[in-house]
Amino acid sequence: MKVYKFGGASVKDASGVKNVCSIITSTNDNLVVVVSAMAKTTNALERVLAAYLENKPNDLKAEMAELKNFHANIINELFANPEKQRFELEAVLEGLSYFLSINTKRDYDFCYDQVVSVGELISTKIVAAYLASQNIDAEWVDVRTILKTDSTYRDANVNFETSGELFRNTIDFNQHHIYLTQGFIGANHKGYSTTLGREGSDYTAAIIANLLGGESVTIWKDVPGVLNADPRIFKDTVHLPSVSYKQAIELAFYGAQIIHPKTIKPLQNRSIPLYVRSFVDPAAPGTEVAASIAKTEAVPVYILKQKQTLISVEPKDYSFALEDSWIKVFSIMQKYRLKANLIQNSAISMSISVDGTNQQLPAAIDEFMNDFRVKYNEGLNLLTIQNYNEYILESYSADVEVILMQKSRRTARILYR
C-alpha cells in the first residue's frame, strides 16, 4: 500500500477537489489518502476559537457563517444534487456550535483541538462524497477512532502500539482499495480530539505508512518538489531530485516549509521513501527523500526564518559556569514550548534565537527575568546556507546588519537585521 497526502492548497476549491480525485484514481495501488482542511480553514477556525474565548458572539457568528459559506460554495460546484452534502456540512458545524455552548473548560489548548479538528472532518467528507459521486469506492474513516494519542493538546504524542493495532484492524484492502482519512488530528483515551501541531498532516501520512508497513508516502504540493530555496523569496532556485532523510530533517529544522519536521522519523525507522510531488503537474518527477541518495554535486541550499527574537540571558550571579543555570534556561524553554533555532553561549551569557510569533514568548521572558538579566532583539532574520562558500557568505552579509554568525564546515548561519 501507499500513502498519499494532500494539503489545504490542493483542495482549496472545487477544481482542486476534482484534480485530487483524478490523481487518486490514476493509480491502481492500494491507497490510504490523507487530506488536510481546505485552504486556510484551520486559520479560520483559530479565529472562531478566539471569538469564542474572548466572548465576542458577533464575531463568532460571522466567522461561523463565513466557514459555512466557503464550504457550501465548493459543495454547490461539485455536486448536481448538493443537498445531502450541505446537510452534512451543517451537521458538523452544528456539532461545533453545540460543543461551544456546553463547554465549560477555558483551557486554550483543549478548546483549540476540539474546534480546529472540524476543518479536516469537513474536507474529507466532501472529498469522499465527490469520489462516491464519480463511482469510486473509497472508504471514509474518522481517524480519531484509530489514531490514539496522549492528552497533550495541540502537540499530541501518538501511541504507536495502540494505533497500530487499530489501523490494522480497520484498514483492509480486501474490502476497499482506497481509504480516505484526516491528517493532523487524533483522539485521546477519553475520546476528545487532539492535534499533532500545525501543518501536522505530513506527519499523519508518515505515521500511517509506518503502522501499515507502507511502500512509500507521497506528499502532493503546489511546488515541483524540494527546491534549494523558497522561490517566493529567492531568485534562480534549483530543483533537488533527491534528498537524504538527514538533509530533509535539517531543511525542516532550519525552516524550509516543505515537510513537517516530525515526518521523517517514522519513515526512516522503516526505510520508507517519501516523494514530494506537484499536484499541478502530477507527471513531473518531484523529489525523492530516502536513506541514501546518489551523491549529487553540493548545491547551496538557502533557508530563511523570519521574525526571529534573540533572547540573551545572563544569570544575576554570573553562574553560567555551573550547569544549574543551563538547566533552568532549558526548562523554561520547554515549559513555554520555545524552540531554540540557534544558540550561542559565552562565559556569562546565553543567546537564543526563537520564533518571535510564539504566543508564549512574553510569559517566558517574564519567567526568565526572575533569575536572569534579559535582553532581547526583535524582528531578526535567520538565514541558513548549506554548502556555502566564502563568496556566498560575503554577498549575503554585505548589506545587512549581522547580529551573529555561526559556521561549521558545511553550514553557515547568519542572524541579521
Binding residues: 5-8, 42, 120, 232
Q: Which of 113, 199, 288, 314: binder of ligand ASP (CB under 6 A)?
A: 199
Buried b (16+ CB within 10 A) or exposed e, 336-350: bebeebbebeeeebb
What is the spatial distance between Cα 306 and Cα 379, in angstroms, rounded to a whole number? 7
What is the spatial distance between Cα 131 and Cα 33, in angstroms, rounded to a whole number? 12
Minimum gap (Å) between residue 82 Cβ and ligand ASP:
24
Question: Which residue numbers belong to the known binding site for ATP?
Answer: 5-8, 232
Minimum gap (Å) between residue 417 Cβ and ligand ASP:
29
Residue 263 lies near ligand ASP (rule: CB under 6 A): no
Query: Toward ligand ASP, which CB reaches closer, 259 or 311?
Result: 259
Question: Which residue numbers belong to the known binding site for substrate?
Answer: 42, 120
Contact 202, 264 (CB under 8 A): no
Residue 154 lies near ligand ASP (rule: CB under 6 A): no
Residue 308 lies near ligand ASP (rule: CB under 6 A): no
Helix (H) or strand (E) holding 164: helix 160-170
**Which residue, judged by CB position, is nearest to ligand ASP in the bound state?**
201
* End-to-end Cα separation, the chain, in angstroms: 48
Q: Which stretch binds Mg ion (CB under 5 A): 12-20, 35-43, 264-272, 355-363?
A: 35-43
- Work out what residue 16 binds among ligand ASP, Mg ion, none; the CB cut-off runs from 5 to 8 Å by kind: none
Minimum gap (Å) between residue 379 Cβ and ligand ASP:
24
What is the spatial distance between Cα 98 and Cα 91, in angstroms, rounded to a whole number? 10
Query: Toward ligand ASP, which CB reaches closer, 40 or 246?
Result: 40
Q: Residue holding cell 541579521?
A: 416
- Which amino acid type is present at position 61? K
Q: Site for ligand ASP (CB under 6 A): how many residues? A: 12
386: left (phi > 0), else alpha (psi -120 to 50), else beta? beta
Q: Which stretch binds ligand ASP (CB under 6 A): 192-200, 211-219, 303-311, 346-354?
A: 192-200
Q: Residue holding cell 546518489?
A: 294
Q: What is the DSSP string of 271-310?
A: T--EEEEESSSTTS--EEEESS--------EEEEEEEEEE
Strands 372-386 and 411-416: antiparallel
Minimum gap (Å) between residue 334 Cβ and ligand ASP:
22
Minimum gap (Å) between residue 36 Cβ and Mg ion:
4
Query: Toward ligand ASP, which CB reaches closer, 8 or 164?
Result: 8
Q: Which of 8, 119, 164, 186: binder of Mg ion (CB under 5 A)?
A: 8
Report the interface residues with ligand ASP, using CB under 6 A.
7-8, 36-37, 42, 119, 183-184, 198-201
Report the interface residues with Mg ion, using CB under 5 A.
7-8, 36
